[in-house]
């Protein structure tokens, strides 16, 4: 008998089955041979929220939550944050290798030639109310791009697919900035292709009457690093949504709009906003002990702490904390940082948090940085969606190239009524 197998005895029938183990997993479909009789569908695995189900093989991102490791295509996130830039990292995430100098120059050129959006996208954003959430505008405008680029439905044509990937990466900052300018009541700024990806985004957000906007190099670099850190995070909720919609062969614009909608949820892309609200509510260092006691009594969570996968530190959190101090050199100190640092110090010494393996996650300090950069809290999930566009597209392309993938269609355990006859209305109780 091979050792890379699992032997299962079905006590309902007394039969034993040998199931192969590959890459630390069994195939759920192998369980279907466990039947009570030939008509039986076969045994299923039941896994709400997919907490222990691998839905795909993927070569993009490796995450080791116990040891606080995050790798894109094998490269540690710390090294990419220190040495790379967002567009180079995007190339790596999408194509699997770091680009040569010539490849990088061509890639950057290709992205910046797609930064403009059709003028009608402006009118679409204009149609929203003055106080619309920017994420609503972002999702709608991304979905609308599908109708501006109808050839995008040819998802199995590699050239067409690559063109949409470039368009989406190039256009999401423009749409994001339009949504911000709309709520502020400011005129929209067109892209400035002399600037870097992050620099151009800052320009589209903040340029007022000056002829040429010059992004502050520290803020430009900080944003670029935050973009690198958020580029991909393997099979999270929004990526799973991108793959599920993509598996029905929808075009990438509508699929990405769906992924962004998942990100909009407060359990996913909204935690950094919640951290800022929490720190503001605590108000001062003196109020921290009482707040911590209320968390331990179960009256609320310490937002920005804990993670489904990281049960040691979140490697992104460490980088973001350092970045916060760099940003404050330019923007002035955000007073919330003192409360955050003290909260972290107390939590890391407290038995409640130690025993539950709760450490600061990426969102604990990122909101403080965004706030120091004058970005309204409503924009925080949009700032997450811009770089995650790269991860969503890489995962979507991987799905389409994977011969094992089909339309995503989970099974269910039916708990409803058995078959019964229709009752006329006068006969109902
Ligand atoms: N503050 C206080 N207690 C907590 C916290 C927290 N932030 N997180 C978890 N716990 C407790 C929880 O109450 C439970 O305690 P007990 O065993 O006594 O019932 C225990 O720790 C285990 O928690 P869990 O809910 O089973 O953990 P989970 O893996 O289901 O949840 C989480 C992970 C991120 C949803 C959760 O830690 C949380 O809500 N954190 C705050 C929100 C947050 O910061 N989210 C951002 C995640 S990082 C963004 C990203 O990577 O996309």
Active site residue 268: yes
Check if the beta carbon of residue 269 is closer than 8 Å to that of residue 263. Answer: yes
Residue 169 has pLDDT above 80, yes or no: yes
Select from 107, 77, 146, 86 the least CA-distant residue to 320.
77
The pLDDT of 79-100, averaged and rounded, is 98
Please list the residues that pair with 61 across neighbouring strands. 72
Band (pLDDT 50/70/90 cuts) for residue 5 is very high
pLDDT score recorded for residue 311? 87
Q: What is the mean pLDDT of residues 352-359?
A: 94
Pocket of ligand 1 (CB under 6 A): 233, 236, 268, 271, 295, 301-308, 356, 358, 361-363
Are the C-beta atoms of 93 and 398 separated by less than 8 Å? no
Mean pLDDT of 111-132: 97
Helix (H) or strand (E) holding 92: helix 86-95
The protein residue whose alpha carbon is closest to atom 2 in ligand 1 is 301
pLDDT at residue number 307: 87
CA dist., res. 243 & res. 410, Å (int): 13
306 C-alpha vs ligand 1 centroid, how far in Å?
Answer: 5
pLDDT over 80 (residue 2):
no
Helices of type H across 151-251: 158-184, 197-206, 217-229, 237-247
Dist CA 50 CA 27 (whole Å) = 14
Residue with CA closest to ligand 1 atom 27: 308
DSSP E strands in 65-114: the ranges are: 69-72, 75-76
Q: Are 93 and 232 in contact (CB under 8 A)?
A: yes
Average pLDDT over residues 208-230: 97
Q: What is the pLDDT of residue 271?
A: 83
Does residue 205 register a pLDDT over 80?
yes
Which protein residue's CA is at the shortest distance from atom 43 of ligand 1? 304
pLDDT band at 268 (very low <50, low <70, confident <90, very high): confident
What is the pLDDT confidence band of residue 38, given thresholds at 50, 70 and 90?
very high
Q: Which residues contact 261 (CB under 8 A, 6 or more apart)?
A: 139, 241
Q: For 36-57, give one letter per residue: b (16+ CB within 10 A) or e.
A: eeeeeeebeeeeeeeeeeebbe
Of residues 30, 118, 268, 402, which has the active-site annotation? 268
Whether 74 shows a pLDDT value over 90: the answer reads yes
SS3 69: strand
| Mean pLDDT across 295-322 | 91
Q: Does residue 270 surpass a pLDDT of 70?
A: yes
Q: Which positions ≥6 away from 266 have C-beta within 8 Å?
A: 273, 274
Q: How many CB atoms lie within 10 A of CB 131?
A: 8
The one catalytic residue in 182, 233, 307, 314 is 307
Report how far residue 99's alpha carbon sits from residue 87's, in angstroms, rounded to the nearest whole number. Answer: 10
Which residues make Cβ contacts (< 8 Å) with residue 354, sequence separation at least 6?
348
Q: For residue 1, what pLDDT is reported? A: 60
Mean pLDDT across the chain: 95
Instruction: Give the per-residue pLDDT at 339.
Output: 95
pLDDT at 164 over 90: yes
d(CA 339, CA 283): 8
Whole-angstrom distance, CA of residue 303 vs CA of residue 276: 9
Q: Confirm if 12 and 35 have CB atoms less than 8 A apart.
A: no
386 has a pLDDT exceeding 70: yes
3-state secondary structure of 181: helix
Distance 370 CA to ligand 1 centre (A): 23
Spacing, Cα 77 to ligand 1 middle (Å): 23
Instruction: Please compute, for residue 308, the number of CA atoms within 13 A of its CA located in the half-sphere on the CB side.
Output: 11
Q: pLDDT tens digits, residue range 313-333?
A: 899 998 999 999 999 999 999
On the question of pLDDT at 427 being above 90, the answer is yes
Q: Which residues contact 228 (CB under 8 A, 6 or more apart)?
A: 77, 80, 81, 84, 85, 86, 89, 387
CA atoms in the 13 A half-sphere facing the CB of 281: 12
> What per-residue confidence (pLDDT) applies to 32?
97
Hey, how many other C-beta atoms are within 10 angstroms of the C-beta on 108? Answer: 19
Ligand 1 atom closest to 307 (CA): 34
Is 363 annotated in the active site? yes
């Amino acid at each position: 008998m091979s050792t890379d197998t699992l032997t299962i005895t079905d006590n309902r029938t007394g039969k034993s089955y040998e199931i192969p183990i590959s890459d630390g997993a069994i195939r759920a479909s192998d369980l279907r041979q466990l039947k009570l009789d030939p008509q039986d569908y076969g045994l299923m695995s039941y896994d709400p929220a997919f907490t222990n189900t691998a839905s795909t093989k993927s070569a993009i991102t490796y995450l080791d939550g116990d040891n606080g490791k995050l790798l894109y295509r094998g490269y540690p996130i710390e090294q990419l944050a220190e040495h790379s830039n967002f567009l180079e990292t995007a190339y790596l995430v999408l194509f699997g290798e770091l680009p040569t100098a010539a490849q990088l120059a061509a890639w950057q050129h290709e992205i910046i030639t797609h930064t403009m959006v059709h003028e009608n996208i402006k009118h679409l954003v204009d149609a929203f109310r003055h106080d619309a959430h920017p994420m609503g505008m972002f999702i709608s405008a991304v979905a609308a791009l599908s109708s501006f680029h109808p050839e995008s439905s040819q998802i199995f044509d590699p050239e067409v697919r690559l063109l949409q990937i470039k368009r989406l990466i190039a256009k999401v900052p423009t749409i994001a900035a339009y949504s911000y300018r709309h709520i502020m009541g400011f005129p929209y700024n067109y892209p400035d292709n002399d600037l870097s990806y992050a620099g151009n985004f800052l320009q589209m957000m903040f340029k007022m009457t000056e002829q040429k906007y010059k992004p502050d190099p520290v803020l430009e670099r900080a944003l670029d690093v935050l973009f690198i850190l958020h580029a991909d995070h393997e099979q999270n909720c929004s990526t799973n949504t991108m793959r599920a919609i993509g598996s029905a062969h929808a075009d990438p614009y509508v699929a990405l709009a769906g992924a962004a909608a998942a990100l909009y949820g407060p359990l996913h892309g909204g935690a950094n906003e919640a951290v800022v609200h929490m720190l503001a509510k605590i108000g001062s260092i003196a109020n921290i002990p009482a707040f911590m006691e209320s968390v331990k009594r179960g009256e609320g969570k310490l937002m920005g702490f804990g993670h489904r996968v990281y049960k040691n530190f979140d490697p992104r959190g460490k980088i973001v904390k350092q970045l916060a101090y760099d940003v404050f050199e330019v923007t002035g100190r955000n007073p919330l940082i003192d409360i955050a640092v003290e909260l972290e110090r107390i939590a890391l010494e407290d038995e409640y948090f130690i025993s539950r393996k709760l450490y600061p996650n990426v969102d604990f300090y990122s909101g403080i940085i965004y706030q120091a950069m004058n970005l309204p809290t409503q924009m925080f999930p949009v700032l997450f969606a811009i770089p995650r566009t790269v991860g969503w597209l890489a995962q979507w392309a991987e799905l389409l190239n994977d011969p094992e993938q089909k339309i995503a269609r989970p099974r269910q355990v039916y708990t409803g009524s058995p078959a019964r006859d229709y009752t006329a209305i006068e006969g109902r109780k």
